[in-house]
Structure 1
C-alpha cells in the first residue's frame, strides 16, 4: 500500500501534462499541428496511466484503494517536483553552468531554446560544413 506502479505512472503522466502546458513550445506558435501533438501526448499519457491502474486491479495485485492512493501520491509528488524544478532550479541554472565543475561535466543551459533538437541539428550541420571546407582547403595546399 499504495501501489508503486500507480505512483510512477501518475507521476510520469502528471509531469508530462505540466511540461506540455507550461514548458513545451515546439514551434513557438499555436498551429493546428502543435495543438494536435499536445493533445496526443497528453491523452496517451493519461491512457497509459489508466491502463496501468486498471491492470493492477484486474490482476488482483492491488485494491482500488491502493491504486487511488498510489495515483494521489504520484500526482502530489509530480506537482511538487515540477514546481521545484520550474520555480527554483530553472532560475538558478544559468548561474550553475558558470561553475568550473559544470564545464568539466559539459553542462549547458538550453532553457531559452524552444526546440533543442532542431537547434542541435542545425548547429551540427553548420559545424560539419565548416570542417569539411577547412579539410578541403588543407588538402588543396
Structure 2
C-alpha cells in the first residue's frame, strides 16, 4: 500500500505551435463554450484546483475553469484536467485528432508550482509556440 503522502503528481504543460486559422478573439470565444475564462493579464496563474487550467496566449495569462455541466459526478477520464484539455481544446476547437503524435504539440514537464508557468511563458515569448497550457493530473 502506498501512502497518499508519498505520491507526487506532476503537472504537464503543452505548448501548441498555433491556434489554426483562428484569431485570438475567435479562439477565446470558442473556449467560452466549455470554460469560464478569467484574464489575469501579466499575473502568472497556477491551476491549483481540479477543473482549473492555466493558459498563456499573446502575452497574457488566463485561468480556464471547466463549466459545471461538463463535470462528471462519476470517476472517469472526463474528470481529469489533462483529458478535458485534450478533448475540448485540442480535439474539438483545434481539430487535432491525435495529440500524442501531433507535431503541433510539445509536452513540457511542469514543476508543480509557479516556476513551471513562468517557464511556459518564457518558451512562448521566445517563439517556441503560440499558446501554452498547464493542467494538473
Shared fold (TM-score greater than 0.5)? Answer: no
Which bracket does the TM-score occupy, shorter chain normalised?
A: under 0.3
Q: Work out which structure has the larger RCO, using CA pairs closer than 8 Å and 6 or more positions apart in sequence.
A: 2
- In terms of fraction of residues, the more strand-rich structure is 2
Greater Rg by CA: 1
TM-score, normalised relative to structure 2: 0.21
Structure number with higher helix proportion: 1
